[in-house]
């Protein structure tokens, strides 16, 4: 897959995996994790119970999209590109 935004992003499993990896990166920094919880209104229990929900997984990536430097850093940390993360969010939203 190239580095342009496409509507035929990675498969459902790959998209979920990327979102979970991104979440792990977010939660690895206490300030970033607190900000995620504050902005989304989620609790730690919500995060745990929503880990299999495509809409919630998409929100983790959407959160990163709100700060380009976080999106780029998360992509680098999980071994992908920012565009692939965005494509994963698109794919997850299609599953809702």
pLDDT in tens, 75-89: 999 999 999 999 999
Residue 26: which of 85, 70, 72, 89 has the closest Cα? 70
Q: CA geometry: angle at 52 spanning 42 and 55, to 5°?
A: 60
CA atoms of 26 and 75, how far apart (whole Å): 11
The answer, as to whether pTM is greater than 0.85, is no
Domain boundaries of the chain, sorted by first residue: 12-94
User: Residue 48 burial (CB < 10 Å; 0-12/13-18/19+)?
Assistant: exposed
pLDDT in tens, 35-80: 999 998 999 899 889 889 999 999 999 999 999 999 999 999 999 9
């Amino acid at each position: 897959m190239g580095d342009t935004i496409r509507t035929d992003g990675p498969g459902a499993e790959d998209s979920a995996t990327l979102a979970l990896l991104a979440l792990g990166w977010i939660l690895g920094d206490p300030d970033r994790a607190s900000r995620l919880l504050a902005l989304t209104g989620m609790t730690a229990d919500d995060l745990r119970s929503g880990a299999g929900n495509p809409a919630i997984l998409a929100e983790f990536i959407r959160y990163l999209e709100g700060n380009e430097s976080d999106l780029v850093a998360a992509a680098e940390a999980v071994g992908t590109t920012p565009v692939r993360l965005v494509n994963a969010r698109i794919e997850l939203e299609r599953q809702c």
